[in-house]
Amino acid sequence: MIIPTPLQKGDTIGITCPAGYMAAEQAQTCINTLKQWGYEVKVGKTLGSDSQNYFSAADEDRLQELQAMLDDDRIKAILFGRGGYGMGRIIDQLDLRQLKKNPKWIIGFSDITVMHTHLFSKIKMASLHAPMAAAFNDGGATSEYVLSLRKTLAGKKSNYSCAAHPLNKKGKATGRLIGGNLALLAHVIGTPSDFDTKNAILFLEDIGEYLYNIDRMMYQLKRSGKLKNISGLIFGGFTDLKDTTRPFGQNINEILSQFSNALDVPVCFNFPVSHERENFALKIGVEHQLTVSKDSVKLKEL
């Protein structure tokens, strides 16, 4: 697995929006903070563009800007402004040859899950499932979650913990970390961005879905073999969920536990990875150890 090197003071971080539109002012706190951390910042034209629709720019313009940042050796990391939807429209046109020669941290979550699985599968390069530009707003820049991104970029190994949960399954597992947004993970199955979960620690989170759709996507993971040979399972935040007029009949924990109960691996519920403030920086593709005990859960980078 290719692991990008830590950033040094004075290194440049690029900011681009490869999917949905983001107003420039929404990223200003992020830009200011990155500079306070000692980094230079290069902002792409897709941030705060004059787009008149959902996307930050036309497909070809988003692709061109992201490709330029991937190829620019002066840029040592790329932090996406936001996710939304759009990465899947351009992912197959990306040329990863220069990135493989000169690896850099690719940072984001949600729709960026497509990029993470693509890098994992295509060039075996680690990437960062972590807070994006908007997470720095409203005091977020000093939260432990955004600060976990700072520590990770500086080269510190992650070592996270969270409270025990009644539905957890105790045990210890090691494996490469893979995962992200459940909807996008289900979306890439059968595509060139598909991912291998054998002996991996799989983590999942989602937002804004109907309960029946969470159930359907979990069955997609199960039926495609993604749950079969994992070494551990982490459920993060499943937030802002909706139900149908005629109730689905199960809450989110009941839905998720019907899949975890069938597995003989350690399982953690409510880990701080989500679309909300609670979103630790996680190195996808890197070996971790998951320890689920009676009193706590620990996820440690090896």
State pLDDT tens for residues 83-107.
999 999 999 999 999 999 999 999 9
Query: Within 13 A of 232's CA, how many CA atoms are on the CB side?
Result: 29
pTM summary value: 0.97
- Quick one: pLDDT at residue 166? 97
Given a contact cutoff of 8 angstroms between Cβ atoms, the answer to whether 282 and 203 are in contact is: yes
Q: Which two tokens stand for residue 135?
A: 């997470």
- Quick one: pLDDT at residue 277? 96
Per-residue model confidence as pLDDT tens for the chain (302 residues):
999 999 999 999 999 999 999 999 999 999 999 999 999 999 999 999 999 999 999 999 999 999 999 999 999 999 999 999 999 999 999 999 999 999 999 999 999 999 999 999 999 999 999 999 999 999 999 999 999 999 999 999 999 999 999 999 999 999 999 999 999 999 999 999 999 999 999 999 999 999 999 999 999 999 999 999 999 999 999 999 999 999 999 999 999 999 999 999 999 999 999 999 999 999 999 999 999 999 999 999 99
**pLDDT tens-digit map of 178-218:** 999 999 999 999 999 999 999 999 999 999 999 999 999 99
- Quick one: pLDDT at residue 101? 97
Query: Within 13 A of 269's CA, how many CA atoms are on the CB side?
Result: 17
Q: Where are the domains of the chain?
A: 12-153, 159-301
- Quick one: pLDDT at residue 76? 98
Written as one string, the DSSP assignment of 230-263 is -SEEEEEEEES-B--SS--S--HHHHHHHHHTT-
- Quick one: pLDDT at residue 58? 97
How far is it, in rounded angstroms, from Cα 63 to Cα 90?
A: 6
Which class is 12-153 in CATH? alpha beta
- Quick one: pLDDT at residue 110? 98
Burial label, 164 (beta-carbon count in 10 A; 0-12, 13-18, 19+)? middle
- Quick one: pLDDT at residue 291? 98
Pairing state between β 201-207 and 40-43: unpaired
- Quick one: pLDDT at residue 217? 98
How far is it, in rounded angstroms, from Cα 253 to Cα 295?
A: 19
Q: Print burial letters for 243-267: b (CB count within 10 Å at least 16), e (below 16).
A: eeeeebebebbebbbebbeeeebbb
Alpha helix ranges (H) inside the chain: 28-36, 59-71, 87-90, 97-101, 113-122, 144-153, 182-188, 211-223, 252-260
Given a contact cutoff of 8 angstroms between Cβ atoms, the answer to whether 288 and 176 are in contact is: yes
Written as one string, the DSSP assignment of 109-163 is -GGGHHHHHHHHHHT-B-EEE---GGGGTTTGGGSHHHHHHHHHHTTPPPEEEEE
Burial label, 204 (beta-carbon count in 10 A; 0-12, 13-18, 19+)? buried
Architecture of domain 159-301: 3-Layer(bba) Sandwich (3.50)
